[in-house]
Chains A and B, each alone.
Chain A
Amino acid sequence: MAPRNGRHVRAQPSAARLASPWAPLWQFIYRFGPPRWSDYLRRHWIGKPMVIAVPMLWLLLFFLIPFVIVLKISFSDTVIAQPPYTPLWEWAEEFGSRTLVIKAHLRGYTEMLTNSLYISSLLYSFKVAAVSTFYCLLLGYPMALGIARAEPARRNLYLMLVILPFWTSFLLRVYAWMGLLNNNGVINNVLQALGIIHAPITLMHTDFAVYIGIVYSYLPFMILPLFTNLEKHDQTLLEAAADLGARPWMSFLRITLPLSVPGIVAGSMLVFIPAVGEFVIPSLLGRPDQLMIGRLLYDKFFATLDWSLASAVAIGMLLLLVLPIVVFQHYQNRELLGKK
């Protein structure tokens, strides 16, 4: 039935049925039933929940449940067994009856908080991520601005070029940097051949190498959200600023920069969050004496098989990262809703 004034008009019995002696019965049936499938669907439209259910289910299966498992392991103790940790709960004959015994070990957390190794590598990871994010921003902002201000026909080409490195393997690209940064790598050889330096300078296995690796790999994640933001800027605002006496640099500082804060935050979060847990780049290019948290996690899980400690570190890292993610969400909502 077509909805009328927002309500659904109920089907009416046919003329033949109304003319029959059973008319009161038919009227009764049509008044209170029979229930119909289409009525149900209309009243409880399930399309929307279904659409949301798919990503929700995905997150539940591959994020929430694994997270709960890690959380559970973090409260266990390490044993030499298969699996290598104690169960969080078990049934035992205690107090004269069958009892559910929950044993929450805090060893992982106390170890993490008391052993300076974990704190320092966590701090180091945050420092590396922060510095790399800063350089990404410094490099990415002018590029994003340049692309956003380029002729529309050229923009797609430039964006393609930004994304192009993704078409080769990430690992391969990091290896390529090893070939460039080595003591007898391309950079040192060229500098020596030009006579600028006489002995090779150490580039590999330094913080510098890690910054280069991270900035190089994550730059597109900075450029793309920045570009999306900057592209939407109304160019007449800049004309208005110029008209009111602002030099180009002042227009940038007072108009473009403040309006691009949501883009800066989005790009920075997209670089910072994965950079904290980055494993491959510091392992291949980084200092051997200072481990990043991702490498430490790997060692604890696979080398020492100390799963409870590794899980505790993972939970700690997650908690520390929730803060910037909340900030990110806040700005993204602001961006999505348009105004403040």
Chain B
Amino acid sequence: MAEPTQRKETREPWTDPRAVPYVRIENITKRFGDFVAVNNVSLKIYQKEIFCLLGGSGCGKTTLLRMLAGFEAPTSGSMSIDGEDLAGVPPYERPTNMMFQSYALFPHMTVEKNVAFGLEQEGLSKADIARRVDEMLGIVRLGELKHRKPHQLSGGQRQRVALARSLVKRPKLLLLDEPLAALDKKLREHTQFELINIQEQLGVTFIVVTHDQEEAMTLASRIAVMNRGEIVQIGTPRQIYEFPATRFVADFIGSVNLFDGRLAEDEPDHVRVQCEELPAPVFVDHGLSAPPEAQLWVAIRPEKFVVQRESPNRPDNWARGVIKDIAYMGDMSVFLIRLDSGRQVRVTQANIARKPEERFDWDETVYLTWEPSSPVVGTG
């Protein structure tokens, strides 16, 4: 799992000021009547990226994708791919291809015909088409099923036909609308890595729309989190997870415990935040630019807590509570712990204890501690 993502992170064109963006989206706005679906969005996407647009339903991510494909015209703003402006270019003349959420396979055509459709529109010779279709079907491992019709295929096979059909034209940009949503969990995980492999093999730039943050995490080189038609944060999966820019992102990505607090001590190298729901201040080992006494939010991921029976005996970064619920997940357990303030927090711990007496039990009083680098604080 780590291997493909690792390779991506060593290659970060967005940190290089000389790099030329491949896809430019500048101040794009789309209105449907009074409703603003996409609000003044600007993005720079680099070649060979897998760029994820992540957000809940109705956040405008699909509308943005459809504007790139040419199915919707932006109300204002401009888009270009590889230096070519897209304004007024109909979908059938764009250098993009799309993989639809429903796959949109042509039901009356065989797998082979479905994949060949796009090439036939280019007026290639029969031999060329057959060669490229076979090559593509080989990549998605569907060679033996090429004479089947879509309804004779399983969900995963259909997904691969859709992928082959959208990739066979060698688009400059592949748009994927919830590519894995229709697959069951096991198949989804398997397909994610397959998708990354194919992308690396062909070197096509991907833009993926998804509402599933796990999918975005594993697939993406960078993620843009969207909310209400606006982009809230752009960053690598690690940046988005570890350093959410706003309360919305912190809450949306993964599960998190959010506390409201007040800035008590603001130094260049650390801050101390007083939270009503925590018995001790939260000490964070980085500075923050906020006015004194500012209202803040503090986010602590469930896996960053350390659970212990002994009192920690330190001035900050601890809390006490009673275990109200335990969910055993195999590799880890999820604890719901009610703090003395009445606030319930979610804590996950790896199941590494071998002896039964080391395990925590229902209604046990425990202490929670965390490292000064663990909490994320913000004002937005």
Q: Which A residues are within 8 Å of any B CB, using their own CB?
A: 234, 236-237, 239-247, 250, 254-255, 258-259, 339-340
Q: Which of B55-63, B95-103, B265-273, B348-356 lines the interface with chain A?
A: B95-103
Known: A244-B169, A245-B121. Contact between A239 and B100, CB under 8 A?
Answer: yes
How near does chain A come to B128, taking the closest CB pair, in angstroms?
A: 15
A234-B104, A254-B117 given; name 15 further pairs at CB < 8 Å: A236-B100, A237-B107, A239-B69, A239-B98, A240-B98, A240-B106, A242-B71, A242-B92, A243-B96, A243-B166, A244-B118, A244-B169, A245-B92, A245-B169, A339-B149
B121/A244 in contact, CB under 8 A:
yes
A241 partner residues in chain B, CB cutoff 8 A: 106, 117
B121/A246 in contact, CB under 8 A:
yes
How near does chain B come to A201, taking the closest CB pair, in angstroms?
A: 45
How near does chain B come to A293, taking the closest CB pair, in angstroms?
A: 37
B91/A242 in contact, CB under 8 A:
yes
A242 partner residues in chain B, CB cutoff 8 A: 70-71, 90-92
How near does chain B come to A180, taking the closest CB pair, in angstroms?
A: 42
How near does chain B come to A108, taking the closest CB pair, in angstroms?
A: 46
B104/A239 in contact, CB under 8 A:
yes
* Complex alpha-carbon distance, A250 and B123, angstroms: 13
Nearest residue in B to A339 (C-beta to C-beta)?
Answer: B151
* Complex alpha-carbon distance, A242 and B91, angstroms: 6
Across the interface, B108 reaches (CB within 8 A) one of A240, A243, A246, A259, namely A259
A247 partner residues in chain B, CB cutoff 8 A: 92
Across the interface, A250 reaches (CB within 8 A) one of B69, B97, B98, B121, namely B121
How near does chain B come to A231, taking the closest CB pair, in angstroms?
A: 16
A239/B106 in contact, CB under 8 A:
no
B117/A243 in contact, CB under 8 A:
no
* Complex alpha-carbon distance, A162 and B181, angstroms: 42
* Complex alpha-carbon distance, A239 and B94, angstroms: 13
Interface residues of B in 66-104 (CB under 8 A from A): 69-71, 90-94, 96-98, 100, 102, 104
A243/B92 in contact, CB under 8 A:
yes
* Complex alpha-carbon distance, A259 and B71, angstroms: 22
B104/A245 in contact, CB under 8 A:
no
How near does chain A come to B261, taking the closest CB pair, in angstroms?
A: 48
Judge whether B165 is part of the interface by a CB distance below 8 angstroms: yes
B184 partner residues in chain A, CB cutoff 8 A: none
7 A-B residue pairings within 8 Å (CB atoms): A236-B102, A237-B106, A239-B69, A239-B100, A240-B98, A245-B93, A339-B107
Nearest residue in B to A235 (C-beta to C-beta)?
Answer: B104
B169 partner residues in chain A, CB cutoff 8 A: 244-245
Q: Which B residues are within 8 Å of any A CB, using their own CB?
A: 69-71, 90-94, 96-98, 100, 102, 104-108, 117-118, 121-122, 149, 151, 165-166, 169
* Complex alpha-carbon distance, A240 and B66, angstroms: 12
Q: Which of B71, B96, B104, B169 has the most CB of A within 10 A?
A: B104
Nearest residue in A to B98 (C-beta to C-beta)?
Answer: A243
* Complex alpha-carbon distance, A239 and B140, angstroms: 23
A244/B149 in contact, CB under 8 A:
no
* Complex alpha-carbon distance, A340 and B118, angstroms: 24
B96 partner residues in chain A, CB cutoff 8 A: 243
How near does chain A come to B14, taking the closest CB pair, in angstroms?
A: 27
A240/B100 in contact, CB under 8 A:
yes
Q: Which of B94, B107, B122, B149 has the most CB of A within 10 A?
A: B107
A243/B97 in contact, CB under 8 A:
yes
A243/B69 in contact, CB under 8 A:
yes
Nearest residue in A to B168 (C-beta to C-beta)?
Answer: A244
B107 partner residues in chain A, CB cutoff 8 A: 237, 259, 339
Q: Which of A239, A242, A245, A258 has the most CB of B within 10 A?
A: A245
B118/A236 in contact, CB under 8 A:
no
* Complex alpha-carbon distance, A256 and B367, angstroms: 66
A240/B104 in contact, CB under 8 A:
yes
A254 partner residues in chain B, CB cutoff 8 A: 106, 117
How near does chain B come to A278, taking the closest CB pair, in angstroms?
A: 34
A246 partner residues in chain B, CB cutoff 8 A: 92, 117, 121
A234 partner residues in chain B, CB cutoff 8 A: 102, 104
A250 partner residues in chain B, CB cutoff 8 A: 121
A245/B118 in contact, CB under 8 A:
yes
B121 partner residues in chain A, CB cutoff 8 A: 244-246, 250
B165/A244 in contact, CB under 8 A:
yes
How near does chain A come to B86, taking the closest CB pair, in angstroms?
A: 14
Nearest residue in B to A240 (C-beta to C-beta)?
Answer: B104
Known: A259-B107, A339-B107, A340-B149. Contact between A243 and B102, CB under 8 A?
Answer: no
* Complex alpha-carbon distance, A241 and B70, angstroms: 13
A239/B91 in contact, CB under 8 A:
yes
Nearest residue in B to A247 (C-beta to C-beta)?
Answer: B92
A237/B104 in contact, CB under 8 A:
yes
What are the 9 A-B residue pairs with the smallest beta carbon separation, nearest first?
A244-B118, A245-B121, A240-B104, A242-B91, A236-B104, A339-B151, A243-B98, A242-B92, A245-B92
* Complex alpha-carbon distance, A239 and B162, angstroms: 13
A243/B91 in contact, CB under 8 A:
yes
* Complex alpha-carbon distance, A339 and B148, angstroms: 13
How near does chain A come to B80, taking the closest CB pair, in angstroms?
A: 18
B98 partner residues in chain A, CB cutoff 8 A: 239-240, 243
B105 partner residues in chain A, CB cutoff 8 A: 240
B93 partner residues in chain A, CB cutoff 8 A: 245
* Complex alpha-carbon distance, A232 and B113, angstroms: 22
How near does chain A come to B65, taking the closest CB pair, in angstroms?
A: 11
B97/A244 in contact, CB under 8 A:
yes
A340 partner residues in chain B, CB cutoff 8 A: 149
B100 partner residues in chain A, CB cutoff 8 A: 236, 239-240
How near does chain A come to B110, taking the closest CB pair, in angstroms?
A: 11
* Complex alpha-carbon distance, A240 and B118, angstroms: 10
B92 partner residues in chain A, CB cutoff 8 A: 242-247
Nearest residue in B to A236 (C-beta to C-beta)?
Answer: B104
* Complex alpha-carbon distance, A294 and B104, angstroms: 48
* Complex alpha-carbon distance, A241 and B104, angstroms: 9
